[in-house]
Structure 1
Amino acid sequence: MSDVAQLVRAVHLGDSALPVGAFAFSNALEAAVEEGAVADPESLAAFVAAVTGEAASADGVALLAAHRAAAAGDEDGARRADAALLARKTDEELRTQCVRMGHKLAEVATSITDSPAVARWRSAVDAGQTPGTYPAGLGVVCAALGVGEEAAFAVHQHGLAVMITGAALRLMRIDHRQTQRILGALADGVAADYASAADTDLSDMSAFTPQLGVLSAAHTRAHVRLFMS
């Protein structure tokens, strides 16, 4: 695959219009705004940086492991990465977010490509043979489409940031120019996070984020909610 074709594939998968249900989730931003932890562009930028940094050490590691396994034709390896990530998703809402988006991705991916590997992944997800988390699924789909692991990692991290900033536009007094500035500043952090995740074994994957867990738990008790997480 040419570099241009790979870039187009990555842009396609990273498009916020890809129907995987990201619009329904805020990744605990709604609770952070309600609790006053995020109240302006600066605190939103810090929140995005914290969440994407945390995701790199868990979701990102699983994504890379699944991508490498899928690229090598090791479907069991991709499923192990999938199961290992879900085991570390202890928060109910964030766990639901991860799996629901993953199931939608598996469904959408079979419309994007006729890859037998993607078809088998969706069948395994539908049959409950693997959890079908979004990061692991993205790794499998990107490998099948010829999108390299660095680009796949970037798609995931950018998509997470877009999910949060998109929610911010509905939750805060902030405009598109401010959210785009936050997204634009993400590049250097993603590069550093990839370098770290690329050298992390699946067994060393870490998802310890007590602050995010507390916010998500608070969101569960909210009487009125715009988002599912």
Structure 2
Amino acid sequence: MANAAQLIALLHLASLTLPAHSFSYSQGLEAAVHVGQVSDETTAAAWIAEGLDVLAVCEAPLWLLQFADWQAGRFDTVAERDTWFLATRQTRELRLETSQMGWSLKRLIQQMEWGDGALRSALAARASVTFPTAFAAAAALNVDPHDGMTAYCFAWIENQMAAAVKAVPLEQAAGQRILFSLHAAVVRAVQEASRRAACHPPELSTFSPGLGVLSARHATQYLRRFQS
């Protein structure tokens, strides 16, 4: 971490108060609770850890690639990868989730005037933008890419923990134990994402059939509190 200003920027971006509406989504966790796959603190922790492994092989390395291209002004490449990522989302719910969160963050970036004019213009030109692409644009605020990736992964597990506390349900202390137990897993996820992003071509894997099945089931689930 280079300085306090960068740390504060990362804490801001990783905050659950960021109006990207991540609290509305469980990314399949609510469906896992519904079918009994997640039922207590232990199974919730296992679910989130497995989800972090999925994040580390596609969304996280893609974030690093988007971050580098935003900074270098390679906006056409950003757009191509963003379109590809949206196409890899396995269900309608998952596509709507990343698009809606991306739109909210895109709007905030314009309102806050984060980044330079060229970046904001390129972002505004996108009719639709996924969440990792928008977050990568926001994190271009003079932060280290690996620190930004760490913040991204931590924000993801924190949101999953908050969803588990509501959906299982769990005590707040159980949620914090889950979050603390995954500190080392976040470090490993960032390392794996960095390795995959550095490969030529990048090693991106979208294989997560269990998540796809649960997400599809969630779309017709009778009672639910989350949008995905």
Query: What TM-score results when the alignment is normalised by the length of structure 1?
Result: 0.91
Per-residue CA distance 1:9-62 (angstroms, 9 max, x = gap): 000000001110111111111110010000010000000101111011111111
Equivalent residue for 1:110?
Answer: 110
> Is residue 173 from structure 1 mapped to residue 174 from structure 2 by the alignment?
no
Q: Output one character per residue of 1:38-91: Cα deviation in whole Å (capped at 9) or x when no partner.
A: 001000000010111101111111100000111222222222221221121122
Q: Which runs of 4+ in 1 moved over 3 A?
A: none
* TM alignment of 1:88-167, pairs within 5 A: 88-115=88-115, 116-125=117-126, 128=127, 131-143=128-140, 145-167=141-163
Taking the aligned partners of 1:189 and 1:30, their CA distance within structure 2 comes to 22
1:46 corresponds to: 46
Which AA in structure 2 matches 1:137? A
Gapped regions of structure 1 (runs ≥ 5): none
Q: How does 1:188-199 map to 2 (within 5 A)?
A: 188-199=184-195
The 8 Å contact of residues 91 and 213 in structure 1, kept in 2 or not, is answered as: yes
Identity of aligned residues (%): 29
In the alignment, structure 2 segments of 5+ residues that lack a partner are none
Q: Match for 1:195: what amino acid?
A: Q
Following the alignment from structure 1 to structure 2, what is the Cα–Cα distance between the partners of residues 67 and 123?
Answer: 17
Mapped to 2, the partners of 1:197 and 1:9 lie a distance apart of 21
Question: 1:159-188: per-residue Cα shift (whole Å, max 9, x none)?
Answer: 211221111222123111111121122221
Q: CA deviation at 1:2?
A: 4.8
Aligned residue number for residue 203 of structure 2? 204
Aligned Cα root-mean-square deviation (Å)? 1.7
**C-alpha contact (below 8 Å) 2:70/2:119 kept by paired residues:** no
Residues 2/192 of structure 1: CA separation in 2 closer, same or farther (3 Å cut): closer
For residues 119 and 108 of structure 2, the distance between their equivalents in structure 1, rounded to whole angstroms, comes to: 10
Structure 1 residue 218, shift from structure 2 partner: 1.1
Q: TM-score, length-normalised on structure 2?
A: 0.92
Quote the residue 1:228 is aligned against: 227
Secondary structure of the residue aligned to 1:207 is: coil
Contact 2:103 2:130 in 1 (8 A): yes
Stretch deviating more after TM superposition (10-19 or 78-87): 78-87
Amino acid at match of 1:142: A
